[in-house]
Amino acid sequence: MKKKDIVRAYGDKFYLRNHGYYSSNITGRYLHRVVWEENNGEIADGFIVHHIDGDTKNNNISNLALMSKSDHMKMHYAENSGGLRGYNESISIR
Ligand SMILES: [Zn+2]
């Protein structure tokens, strides 16, 4: 594992996964969701944290936006009529 594949933040380590997101081995939580909650408070049920520039490895707070799951789906399907490439509904967070 390369060094850049590990992000240290909030007293935890987040590892880059095959699906392109960082998550913690300890809590299983996704880095972008932790970053959002540390800055803005708890994420309500039914909401996801979207990566504005589409880069799931860019977890700077300025690249994150909170959206409802349905708005998020609509937005991604609108930007690519064939459906979002690589979109994984079970993860549902890009
Ligand atoms: Zn998104």
Average pLDDT along the chain: 86
CA of residue 2 to ligand 1 center, whole Å: 26
CA of residue 28 to ligand 1 center, whole Å: 20
CA of residue 41 to ligand 1 center, whole Å: 19
Domain 3-79 has what CATH class?
alpha beta
pLDDT tens digits, one per residue of 63-78: 999 999 999 998 888 7
The ranges assigned to domains in the chain are 3-79
Provide φ and ψ at 88, rounded to 5°: -120, 110
Listed in order, strand segments (DSSP E) in 6-88 are 6-9, 12-16, 22-24, 47-51, 64-68
**pTM of model > 0.85:** no
